[in-house]
Amino acid sequence: MIEMDSPALVPFTDRDLASECLYPACVWFQERHRATLAKAESSDENVLHSLDSTLKKTTAFMKKLKTLSAASVPSLIEELSRLNLSKFVEEMAAGIAETKLKPLDVIPIVDLCVVIASRYSKFPELLLAEIKKGLPLKRTDKISNPAKLRIDVRLLCELVLCGVVGKEGLQTLGATLSFICLTDKGEHLNVGLLCSLCRPVGWQIAGIVPTPESTDTISIKQDDLMVNTAISVDHRKVVNDLFTNYHTGMLRHLEKACASMNVVQKRVKRQERTRGDATSEDKAELETAKTEFERLKGLATELSNSLGVPMVELKEEPSDNEEDEAAALEMDKALAEGHVLLWPDDETSNPQESEERTIEENELKTSVDDIDVDGLEEDDRGADAEGGSENSEEPYRPKTPPSPLSPQLNEEFSAAADPTLVSSEEIKQLAQKFFLNLDHLVNRDTTDQCALDFVSNLNTKSYRKKLVKVLYGVPSSRLDLLPFYARLVASLSPVMPDLTTELSTMLIKQFRDYVQRSGQDRVEEKIKCVMFIAELVKFAVIPRAEALSCLRQLVYDFRGHSIDMVCAMIETAGFYLYRNTDSHPKMKIILDVVQKKKERIKDVRHVMLIDNAFFACIPPADSAAARRAQAEPPLMIFIRHLVVDIDEHNVNTNIKCIRRLAWDDETVSGWCLKYLTSPWLLPYANLLHLASAVAGLQGLTHYDWISTYVIDACQEMIRISLEVPGVFNQKAIATACYLGELYNYSVCDTPVIYKVLYQIISFPETDPLSWQEFYRVRMVCELLNTIADFFQTGRARRKMDYFLTYFHRFYWMKREQWNVNVAANEPLTVIDETGDSPTVEPPRFPADVEAEYRECMRHLRKSAPLPKDLTEAEKAVELMEQQLKEKVNLCHISFFLHSFLFFMTCACFA
């Protein structure tokens, strides 16, 4: 309800109250009618005898009254002022009460009733008696005509407000409203009746302000609303309580209907997911429930608006399957966008993905949704019975996939397996060697070669059975062999499906035996079994649904050895199961249940195992990456994509997109400049395309300042790396290469390049361990390799030769520092062959730095000789400086002579 001092929007939907100024007029008319009736009761009734009472006119009036409507009321009132109808009062009351009226006819009819009641004092009592005949007042009464009842109640309200029917009419109205609200608590069929009553007269009879139906409203305060004096405050509170309680019951009814619909909807969707389609009975029940819910929701909304209270939002609860689908779609999207990887690294992914078999997905995986994980959190004491029921099922038989090999290849394998081609002794030797080599499968190459040898030489039924026994009986101490054994089985599966079927069946049977005989076997054997199953799951030999089923059985009885088995299986295949779209929802539920049951475990070792398994399945880095991805705005991610993913194919398109960004926005321009000045985010081969993009922006009218900003940022990064060595080395090397590419595209000038080059080799080194760092040499080499083609001829070549002379000296100074410090800190002693006199071997300079230096010089100056030591480099610098000094002196002398001749010439002319 609206507070008394707060503004309220008062709607006018009846009495033609489209204008906001008519509500006070409405109350004023009601009060005027009450005053008119009060005066009429005290007036002389002898006036009636002077009026016309002829039978013809009175009969005509009564005929018009029986066809009463809003249009005929004015003429009837005019005729009523001239006729004496004292003998027809009862007939008039019956005619008005029995006439089928429309909602718009109520107000004019009330005006007519006021005129009649002012002349004939018996009329109100007779009219009320006639109206009461159609009103349900007793609990046993039934509503036969709801439409007629709606008009009668509205008419009675108006008659009470206008004073036509007094206290008795108010009591009748209260009894009728009580019947309507109290006898309809279950079905709520009278919502429309109450709504039609609340909007026009709700404020006057119950103190409620309905929600406006349209925007044609005004803002007023409740204190400014006029109140009819016919109904007291206590009476309005009683009616308000009736309406409020009815509304509360309506909302409860709606909530029950929503809950019933959700139950049926969950059942139908579960059937559609597990069986493909639901039964016709369940579908019909769902349609009925939805129809009922929508009907009640519409009624509740209408009633809430009429009472001026907010409607409660009821959402359809998603079923378990919808939650699973949402989680699966979210994981699929994360995998597609690269935020989450199916495998933690390339080394892990290659063994499994390279052996992904060409079996259709619907044949490779069984329905994961058939695995029920709803009862995992039940009491662990019922686990024994559950374990027995699981083991009483039929043994696991994986589907035998069709061989993807061609018939010709199968024939070749059959011919290769023909024992007549080689002797039996050779076969025995090959078999002995093969089975001995199984203990030495330590990488993928040996595993693949082993599979090829078995297919080529030992493809017989007896050796296949022996191989199954050997693989099945792998020692529990050699868990390192399980991934390679699984790869071997996956490699042999296309041509030997019986081997895969037999081994999988034996492992699943062994697992179920372990679950049934809990605590009777060594935990090492159990861990080996579940790890072997998990490895085969990763190679798609055993379906993911079977792995989830195994985890379900173990989690249900989560104690003792089951904890070790669960942790081993999650550590081995949990990462894979959690990131596969079909198994992600169920795996997520299993992990949640494991985390909940961990709280009841007191063994510290088991708690540690669970934590390790959980973080092996969901590494914390993933959560950090997800938070970081969520923190970055989409526009920032898009700008990063434009810059970081630029290449030769999309450089023109990306330049257009970058140009169309909102550069006047400081945030957007800051993001773009950040990535344009971060060359270390790009692959080395794409730096030239990024420089091309900056050059393209430089050629535009309003974007030429971007290139200046990028050049300044590159110089700043190089300077910072020189001031703080060791922190920004890699970034500085990438920046130097980027600066060279900018020079190649004429974005920066030659003085900038020389300034950076001389700064790198001349900036003082304050770190005492700087002799160990060679990133300055690498930086210069990267920059020179990038710009070498533009310094091969003319003046540019001479200037570059000057710098190279200084760079040779810098290189040999670094090399000499390294030799001195290494010789002082780690002298290498070598004993002669005679063993008499030890000699000290000189330290070896890092070969990669020397190779990079020589390769750079070969690229820049192919035929120029290089200094062999620091002495030669210093002599070259001295010689160059001496030559430059001589040139400078000659320039000074020449300048002095030209100046002297100029002044002498000026003096002669003077």
Point out the least confidently predicted range of 31-45, 51-65, 601-615.
Answer: 31-45
All residues at 6 or more sequence positions from 832 whose CB lies less than 8 Å from its CB, including other chains: 838, 839
Q: How many CB atoms are closer than 10 A to CB 632?
A: 12
Highest mean pLDDT, choosing among 197-211, 213-227, 590-604: 590-604
Asked if the model's pLDDT at residue 273 lies above 70, the reply is: no
Q: Which residue has the tokens 């450089």?
A: 651
- Cβ neighbors of 219 (< 8 A, separation 6 or more) are 7, 8, 9
Looking only at Cα atoms, what is the longest distance across the chain?
A: 162
Which tokens hold the place of 754? Answer: 């020389």
330-357+370-397+405-627: in CATH 1.20.120.330: no
DSSP 83: B
69 or 518, greater pLDDT: 69
Cβ–Cβ under 8 Å, residues 329 and 236: no
Distances in Å between the Cα of 391 and the Cα atoms of 366, 385, 543 are: 19, 10, 19
Would you state the pLDDT for residue 103? 82
Q: Three-state DSSP class for 830? A: strand
Q: What is the CA radius of gyration of the chain?
A: 48
Confidence of residue 372 (pLDDT cuts 50, 70, 90): low
Q: What integer best gives the mean pLDDT of the chain? A: 77
**CA nearest neighbour of 221 among 19, 25, 10:** 10
Phi, psi dihedrals of residue 344, rounded to the nearest 5°? -65, -30
Q: Is the pTM of this model over 0.75?
A: no
φ and ψ of 176, to 5 deg = -65, -45
pLDDT at residue 380 greater than cutoff 50: no
Segment holding 307, helix H or strand E = helix 280-307
Q: Which two tokens stand for residue 376?
A: 């995992």
Q: Could you tell me which of 503, 509, 464, 502 has the C-alpha nearest to residue 486?
A: 503
**C-beta atoms surrounding 222 within 10 Å:** 18
List the Cα angle 388/394/396 in 5-degree steps.
105
Q: Hey, what CATH class is 632-822 in?
A: mainly alpha
Q: And the tokens for 551? A: 């985890």
SS3 76: helix
Mean pLDDT to the nearest integer, 463-473: 90
- Using CB atoms within 10 Å of the CB of residue 827, give its burial: 0 to 12 exposed, 13 to 18 middle, 19+ buried: exposed
Q: Any idea which architecture 12-183 has in CATH?
A: Alpha Horseshoe (1.25)
Q: Do domains 330-357+370-397+405-627 and 632-822 have the same CATH topology?
A: yes
Q: How far apart are the first and last CA of the chain?
A: 109
Q: What is the pLDDT of residues 543-600, one digit of tens each?
A: 888 888 898 888 888 888 888 898 999 998 888 888 887 788 788 888 888 888 888 8
Contact 540, 356 (CB under 8 A): yes
Task: Give the separation between CA 175 and CA 337, rounded to whole angstroms.
Answer: 67
pLDDT, residue 602, reads 84
CA pair distance 527, 514, nearest whole angstrom? 10
794 torsion bin: left (phi>0), alpha (psi -120 to 50), beta (else) = left
> Element (H or E) spanning 63, and its range?
helix 55-66
Q: What percent of the chain has pLDDT over 90?
A: 12
Q: Please list, residue by residue across 39-51, b when 16 or more beta carbons sit within 10 angstroms of its beta carbon and e when fewer do.
A: ebeeeeeeeeeee
Does the pLDDT at position 537 exceed 80? Answer: yes
Q: How far apart are CA 341 and CA 576, in angstroms?
A: 10
Among 764, 746, 737, 743, CA closest to 852: 737
Task: Give the pairing type, strands 838-841 and 828-831.
Answer: antiparallel
Instruction: Select the more confidently predicted residue: 871 or 202.
Output: 871
Side-chain half-sphere exposure of 300, counting CA atoms within 13 A: 25
The answer, yes or no, to whether residue 614 has pLDDT greater than 90, is: no
Mean pLDDT along residues 442-471: 88
pLDDT of the residue at 417:
44
pLDDT band per the 50, 70, 90 thresholds, residue 365 = very low
pLDDT surpasses 50 at 3? no
| Burial of 290 from C-beta contacts in 10 A (0-12 / 13-18 / 19+) | middle
Is the pLDDT confidence value at 8 over 60? Answer: no
Average pLDDT, integer, range 868-894:
84
- The string of pLDDT tens digits covering residues 651-669 is 889 989 998 888 889 999 9
- What is the C-alpha separation between 847 and 827, in angstroms, rounded? 19
The residue whose two tokens read 């300044």 is 712
For residues 614-634, average pLDDT: 67
Instruction: Specify whether the CB–CB gap between 197 and 154 falls below 8 A.
Output: yes
Confidence (pLDDT) at 503: 92
Per-residue pLDDT for 319 more than 60? no
Nearest one of 220, 172, 213 to 196, comparing CA atoms:
213
* Range list of H helices, 134-190: 146-161, 167-182
Label residue 214 by pLDDT band (50, 70, 90).
Answer: low
Tokens of 721: 């790396």
Q: Is the dihedral of CA 665, 670, 671, 673 positive or negative?
A: positive
Question: What pLDDT is stored for residue 737 in this prediction?
Answer: 93
Place 427 in a pLDDT band, splitting at 50, 70 and 90. Answer: confident
Q: Which of 211-220, 270-279, 519-528, 780-789 has the lowest mean pLDDT?
A: 211-220
The answer to whether the CB of 506 falls within 8 A of the CB of 472 is yes
Evaluate if residue 204 carries a pLDDT over 80.
no
Tell me the torsion sign for CA atoms 646, 650, 652, 654: negative
Side-chain-side CA neighbours of residue 373 (13 Å):
27
768 DSSP 8-state letter: T
Residue matched to tokens 């100046």: 899
Residue that is written with structure tokens 């699973």 in the block: 324
536 contacts: CB under 8 Å, gap ≥ 6: 486, 489, 490, 503, 504, 507, 542
910 pLDDT band, cuts 50/70/90, is low
Whole-number Å distance between alpha carbons of 18 and 737: 76
- For residue 449, count other CB atoms closer than 10 A to its CB: 12
CA separation for the pair 344, 352 (Å, rounded): 12
> Cβ distance 478 to 442 under 8 Å?
no
* Residue 19 in tokens: 């204008």
Cβ-contact 652, 695 below 8 angstroms: no
* Rounded distance between C-alpha atoms, residue 125 and residue 324, angstroms: 69
Domain boundaries, the chain: 12-183, 330-357+370-397+405-627, 632-822
Dist CA 564 CA 569 (whole Å):
9
Q: Nearest to residue 717, comparing CAs of 703, 698, 738, 696?
A: 738
Residue range 701-740, pLDDT digits in tens:
788 889 999 999 999 999 998 888 877 888 999 999 999 9
Residue 220 pLDDT greater than 70, yes or no: no
Greater model confidence, 422 or 534: 534
Mean pLDDT of 368-379: 50
Cα–Cα distances in Å, from 729 out to 724, 777, 815?
9, 11, 19
Q: What pLDDT shows up at residue 682?
A: 92
